[in-house]
Amino acid sequence: MAERAQQQMMLHFPATPPAFFWHRLRNDGFTTVPRTLPIAMQAIDDQSKGHPAGHTLFSLWARAPDYPFLTIENPTTFAAEAGFTGTRVVDTWRKRMKALRDLWFIQTKAGPSGEFHYVFLVNPNVAVEWMRMTGRLQDGLYARFIDRVMEIGAFGEIEGFREHMELVRQQQAAAEAAKAADAAKAATPGEPPVEVGAPAETEESV
C-alpha cells in the first residue's frame, strides 16, 4: 500500500519539495493510532450530541507515547488541545472524559492532578463493538465500521472480544446460579431438633 501510494504521489504530484513531506520514519513527533479512529470518533459524537467528545479522544491518542497509556499531569493542556476555551475549560474537558469512560473508550484512575491522572486507552475497535452490543450504535455506522475493520485485517479483534464477553456472561450466570442455590438452601427448613435426654416412647412404656 505504501509503495503504491508513493508511485501515485510521484505521478500526480511530481517535483513536490521534500520540505512538504511528512513521514513517520523520518520526521520527529509521531505516534501510532488505530485506522478506525475516525469512525470511533463519529460513534462517540453521535452518543454525546451537544457535547461531542470524539476530538477529546483523538487528542489523547495524539499524546500517547506509542503505547496506550497516559499520565496527565496538566489537564489544562489537554483541555486546550481538545479545543476547549473559556474560564471552565478543565471542567468541560472532564465532562468529555467521563463520557469517554462511560462509552468504554478509556479507563481511568485518580492521581495528583485529579480524577483522570492515569488513563488507559482502550482499543477503539473493542469499544465500538461494545457500543453495538449495548444498543448505542446505529446500523449504518456499524456497517461502515465492520467494513473498515475487515479491510485492515482487524476482524479477529472483534471475534476475540465477542469470545471474551461470552465467557464473562457464562461466568456471571454460573455465579448467579450458585448464589440462588445457596439462598434456596438457606431458606429450606431443616429437620426438627431431637430433644436430648428425653426417652423415646415404646409400646412397653405406654
- Judge whether residue 67 has pLDDT over 60: yes
Residue-wise pLDDT for 71-118, tens only, equals: 999 999 999 999 999 889 999 999 999 999 999 999 999 999 999 999
49 pLDDT band, cuts 50/70/90, is confident
Find the mean pLDDT for residues 162-177.
Answer: 95
The dihedral formed by the CA atoms of 107, 111, 115 and 118, expressed in degrees to the nearest 10? -30
**103: Cβ contacts below 8 Å, ≥ 6 apart:** 44, 47, 48, 53, 127, 131, 136
Tell me whether strands 114-121 and 69-71 are parallel, antiparallel or unpaired: antiparallel
Written as nine digits, the cell of 85 is 476555551
Q: At what angle do helices 124-133 and 155-187 cross, to 10 degrees?
A: 50
Q: What is the pLDDT of residue 200?
A: 53
> Using CA atoms, how far apart are residues 124 and 180, in angstroms rounded to an integer?
36
pLDDT confidence band for 206 (50 / 70 / 90): very low
Amino acid at the residue 169: R
